[in-house]
Amino acid sequence: MPSMNENTRPPAPSAAMPAGARKGGRPWVDYGHEARVIRNPALRGLFIALGWLCVASGAIGVVVPGWPTTIWIILATYFFARSSPRFYNWVMNHRVFGPLIRDWRDGKGMTARAKAVAVTTIILTIGISIAVIPVVWVKALLLAIMVILCTYLLRLPTKPAEVPA
Report the C-alpha gap between 165 and 162 in whole angstroms.
9
Per-residue pLDDT tens over the stretch 34-75: 878 888 999 999 999 999 999 998 888 888 776 777 778 888
Show Cβ contacts of residue 77 under 8 Å, excluding neighbours closer than 6 positions. Answer: 51, 88, 91, 92, 101
Which DSSP symbol is given to 151?
H
* pLDDT band with cut points at 50, 70 and 90 for residue 33: confident
Q: What is the pTM of this model?
A: 0.61
Is the distance from CB of 139 to CB of 133 less than 8 angstroms?
A: yes
Q: What pLDDT score was predicted for residue 49? A: 96
Q: What percent of the chain has pLDDT over 70?
A: 81
Per-residue pLDDT tens over the stretch 87-145: 999 988 988 778 878 887 888 888 788 788 888 888 988 899 999 999 999 999 999 98
- Spatial CA neighbour of 103 closest among 127, 70, 64: 70
Query: What sign results for the dihedral spanned by CA atoms 57, 61, 65, 71?
Result: positive
